[in-house]
Chain A
């Protein structure tokens, strides 16, 4: 890999993503693990920028870092004890290792044939050397058109709205005010 500006940024962003992920799983404090998750997600946003997908990078920051990571942290704060986990490894570590290995193999086996079709040598490729003309400048406009196109993604688009509604109503049902009062802990 030649050391261009893009490949340097790629290496930095990969380091942020992987380093953050490593800290997530090794943190003794669940709350800190949630914060490290944000670092890892920020690295992924940088990788999206390198892939000429600024919209996805924005979504990554706004939704994943701004909302989902916050939701995870708040969920952690609901648990009675978040600090001083007794051990880094839990009892399911072997199962989790197998699961992670399975997904790694799955990803590689899905992605490498695509790269073969494109004539890319996966191990020596310069992923950042992409012609800007390959990505249409108005790709977000096209996304907007396809989202509401009855022949394309209209149904998933409306189903997404039903899903969001169900998520909100379900959460309110689970944490109804009387229930919240019952398990009110120390706060503020």
Chain B
């Protein structure tokens, strides 16, 4: 495995950790600590917090995530197919059309059932 091609991704990985970690660590070291009850509240755009954030969320979030997952997995199948497209015949196009059609059926069903509408 030629790792040299991946050095840039490694650099981004390291930088991605370092950039948020540096101010957090610096803040811990440099900032004076005189906490009081108001200061220690969770900051949420200046809105006063009401109750605990650890409440039960509604099941609709799950549907959105699931729709996303289904089309994410479709992408995994589409990608190798698209790379090999030049070397494939008409039948492969037909197969992919069937594949996508079935997923569109599922999407239309979800849509018609109103599961995508935020109620």
Contacts and interface: CB of A to CB of B under 8 A. Distances in A.
B73 A181 contact: no
Interface string B85-102: 101100110011011101
Contacts of B83: 140-141, 144
Contact of A55 (B80, B109, B113): B80
Contacts of A75: 62
Contact of B62 (A51, A78, A82, A157): A78
A162 interface: yes
Interface of B: 1-3, 6, 9-10, 51, 54-63, 65-70, 72-77, 79-85, 87-88, 91-92, 95-96, 98-100, 102-103, 105-107, 109-110, 113-115, 117, 119
B74 A164 contact: yes
Given A9-B3, A140-B79, A141-B84, A158 B98 contact: yes
B105 A165 contact: yes
Contacts of A181: 119
Interface stretch (A20-28, A60-68, A116-124): A60-68
B55 A185 contact: yes
A175 B80 contact: no
13 contacts: A62-B75, A66-B72, A71-B65, A74-B65, A78-B56, A78-B57, A78-B62, A82-B54, A158-B99, A167-B66, A172-B110, A177-B114, A177-B119
B81 A171 contact: no
- How large, as a class, is the contact surface on chain A? 35 or more
Contacts of A140: 79-80, 83-84
B26 to A, nearest CB: 23
Nearest to A5: B3
A183 B105 CA distance: 28
Nearest to A179: B59
A185 B61 CA distance: 12
Contacts of A14: none
A154 interface: yes
Nearest to B74: A164
A169 B108 CA distance: 10
B55 A63 contact: no
Nearest to B51: A186
Contacts of A70: 65, 68
Interface string A30-56: 010000000000000000011110010
Interface in A123-154: 128, 130, 132, 140-145, 147-148, 150, 154
A80 B56 contact: yes
Contact of A184 (B58, B69, B105): B58
Given A78-B56, A148-B92, 19 more contacts: A5-B3, A6-B3, A50-B1, A52-B1, A77-B56, A140-B83, A144-B81, A148-B96, A157-B99, A158-B98, A161-B77, A161-B100, A168-B106, A175-B60, A177-B113, A177-B119, A180-B58, A183-B58, A185-B55
